[in-house]
Amino acid sequence: MQVETAAHPYYADFERLPGDVPAWLDELRRAAMDRFLDLGFPTQREEDWKFTSLNPLARLTFKRVAGRGAADWSNPAIENHLARYADFQKHAFVALNTAFLDSVHLVVIPAGARETVRIEHPSRPGVSHPRTLAVIGDGAEASIVESFSGDQKYFTNAVTEIVCGENSIVDHYKLQNESPAAFHISTIQVQQARNSVFTSRSFAFGSALARTEINAVLETGSECTLNGLYVVNGTQHVDTRTAIDHAKPHATSHELYKGILNGSASAVFNGKIIVRKDAQKTDAKQTNKNLVLSENATINTKPQLEIFADDVRCTHGATVGQIDADSIFYLRSRGIGLDDARAMLIEAFAREIMDAVKISELREQILGLFKANL
Choosing from 302, 323, 344, the residue where a domain stops is 323
Q: In angstroms, what is the C-alpha Rg of the chain?
A: 21
pLDDT higher than threshold 90 for residue 6: no
Whole-angstrom distance, CA of residue 248 vs CA of residue 219: 5
> Do both 197 and 257 map to the same domain?
yes
What pLDDT band is residue 125 in, cutting at 50, 70 and 90? Answer: very high
Give the tens place of pLDDT for each residue, 129-143: 999 999 999 999 999
Output the pLDDT for position 67: 81
Whole-angstrom distance, CA of residue 122 vs CA of residue 144: 16
> Do both 352 and 229 map to the same domain?
no
Q: Please report, for residues 223, 228, 288, 345, the alpha-carbon distance to residue 351 in angstroms, rounded to integers and kept in the order given.
A: 23, 11, 15, 10
Whole-angstrom distance, CA of residue 79 vs CA of residue 221: 28
> Do both 174 and 160 map to the same domain?
yes
pLDDT higher than threshold 80 for residue 354: yes
> Do both 370 and 347 map to the same domain?
yes
> Do both 257 and 348 map to the same domain?
no
> Do both 189 and 246 map to the same domain?
yes
64: left (phi over 0), alpha (psi -120 to 50) or beta: beta
> Do both 220 and 346 map to the same domain?
no
Neighbouring C-beta atoms of residue 87, cutoff 10 Å: 15
Output the pLDDT for position 3: 46
**Average pLDDT for 234-251:** 97
CA atoms within a 13 Å half-sphere pointing along the CA-CB vector of 373? 30
> Do both 9 and 61 map to the same domain?
yes
> Do both 164 and 136 map to the same domain?
yes
Least confident of 10-24, 92-106, 132-146: 10-24
User: First-to-last CA distance in the chain?
Assistant: 49
> Do both 92 and 37 map to the same domain?
yes
Please state the pTM of the whole predicted model. 0.95
> Do both 141 and 274 map to the same domain?
yes
> Do both 365 and 319 map to the same domain?
no
Q: How many domains does the chain have?
A: 2
Give the tens place of pLDDT for each residue, 284-335: 999 999 999 999 999 999 999 999 999 999 999 999 999 989 998 889 998 9
Whole-angstrom distance, CA of residue 232 vs CA of residue 152: 18
Domain region containing 28: 5-323
CA angle, corner 169, sides to 165 and 170, nearest 5?
90
Long-range contacts of 74-79 (CB under 8 A, 24+ apart): 74/22, 75/106, 77/106, 77/108, 77/133, 77/135, 78/104, 78/106, 78/133, 79/24
Closest CA to 312 of 349, 285, 340, 293: 285
Output the pLDDT for position 148: 98
Give the tens place of pLDDT for each residue, 334-349: 899 998 999 999 999 9
Whole-angstrom distance, CA of residue 114 vs CA of residue 271: 31
